[in-house]
Amino acid sequence: MSTETMPLAKAITAGLRAALDADDTVLLMGEDIGRLGGVFRVTDGLQKDFGEHRVVDTPLAESGIVGTAIGLAMRGYRPVCEIQFDGFVFPAYDQITTQLAKLHNRSGGRIQVPVVIRIPYGGGIGAVEHHSESPEALFAHTAGLRVVSPATPQDAYDMMRAAIASPDPVIFLEPKGRYWSKGEVDLEAPVPTIAADAGTPDPLGTARVARAGTDVTLVAYGPTVATALSAAEALAEEGTSAEVVDLRSVSPLDVPTVADSVRRTGRCVVVHEAPSFLGAGAELAARLAEECFYHLEAPVLRVGGFHAPYPVAKLEHEYLPSVDRVLDAVDRAMSH
């Protein structure tokens, strides 16, 4: 059977395996991704099956990893870099934002750099400092990068294959707190494409309605989609019908799908782990105010992390968006 039940982490593994098997120009690079299989064992078994020249254990040097990947991409390869934890990406930030994001434009479209940067991100695992960051807004603010995050095993599988096939550089944010959430994955699903005439939705730029509703729209991505769905279940018990939209992509933003939902419900709450201040939710709220002004019954509200450094593990439950915080925001929206 082509459909299997597996955790989100293993769906990413399956996506990497499928890409390695289908295209000899695909290679993986990162710290401890070979013999160890990565901190979260996402690349487990891949070096054994594809060799050390395609699943490469690198030095502890994020800037060097990404810089090397850029050079490889310019020579026709499709490198997939693993950043061990979200907070470790910043030594490579210069390479990503001033080189990787800009080479296509700088060369007048002559050079493509199909590099995927895999980043386990977000909290909920009781980790120490620099291991629970949500840096998506920093990359989304930089033109030239796709910034995406799957919320389900099927999307993790489809989006990884689509990211590797994409001609654009992709920041692939993996919700580590949801790595072991299981779901069905169709391993024979065709590789999604970003071509406009492909006839299939592009998961790297198209949101999906995860739950239909009529009274309020809850928008989330990555780790908070499950939170929004749990909030929608609780609201249903109280007689409120919540529609849940999974953005999947932070850049580009699929505003039309969200706006269509908001025009029907009249209310919107955006949920993400990153700080609300200047986060993806702020941009989305502004765009919805522009496009849905006469349909909104209440301001677009945001539930996110606080404008403060990520706290120590024993306090992270106070920082992360919870079902109760989402319900409180919905109550405020419904009171208008």
Give the DSSP per-residue string, 163-232: HHH-SS-EEEEEEGGGTT-EEEEETTPPPP---TTSSS--TTT--EEEE--SSEEEEE-TTHHHHHHHHH
Q: Where are the beta strands (DSSP E) in 39-100?
A: 55-57, 78-82
Q: What integer pLDDT is reported at residue 199 of this predicted model? A: 57
The domain defined by 3-186 folds into Rossmann fold (3.40.50)
3-state secondary structure of 77: coil
Over the stretch 206-240, which tens digit does the pLDDT of each residue have?
A: 999 999 999 999 999 999 999 999 999 999 999 99
Asked whether the beta carbons of 277 and 307 are under 8 A apart, the reply is: yes
3-state secondary structure of 148: strand
Bridge pairing between strands 242-246 and 208-211? antiparallel
In the block, tokens 């932070």 appear at 250
How far apart, in whole angstroms, are the C-alpha atoms of residue 18 and residue 23? 9
Over the stretch 150-163, which tens digit does the pLDDT of each residue have?
A: 999 999 999 999 99
Q: What integer pLDDT is reported at residue 195 of this predicted model? A: 55
Q: Is the bond preceding residue 252 a cis peptide, omega within 30 degrees? A: yes
Q: What integer pLDDT is reported at residue 203 of this predicted model? A: 80
- 131 carries an active-site annotation: yes
Q: Which residue out of 53, 104, 131, 272 is catalytically annotated?
A: 131
Burial of 308 (0-12, 13-18, 19+ CB in 10 A): exposed
Enumerate the domain spans of the chain.
3-186, 208-334
Q: What integer pLDDT is reported at residue 1 of this predicted model? A: 56
Over the stretch 312-322, which tens digit does the pLDDT of each residue have?
A: 999 999 999 99
Domains 3-186 and 208-334 share a fold: yes
Pick the CATH number of 208-334 from 3.40.50.920, 3.40.710.10, 2.60.40.420, 1.10.1200.10: 3.40.50.920
Q: What integer pLDDT is reported at residue 212 of this predicted model? A: 98
Q: What integer pLDDT is reported at residue 236 of this predicted model? A: 97
Where the chain has pLDDT below 50, the residues are 196
- Provide the residue type at 92 as one letter: A
Q: What integer pLDDT is reported at residue 247 of this predicted model? A: 97
Q: What integer pLDDT is reported at residue 15 of this predicted model? A: 97
209 Cβ contact partners less than 8 Å away, ≥ 6 residues apart: 243, 244, 245, 246, 257, 261
How far apart, in whole angstroms, are the C-alpha atoms of residue 59 and residue 22? 27
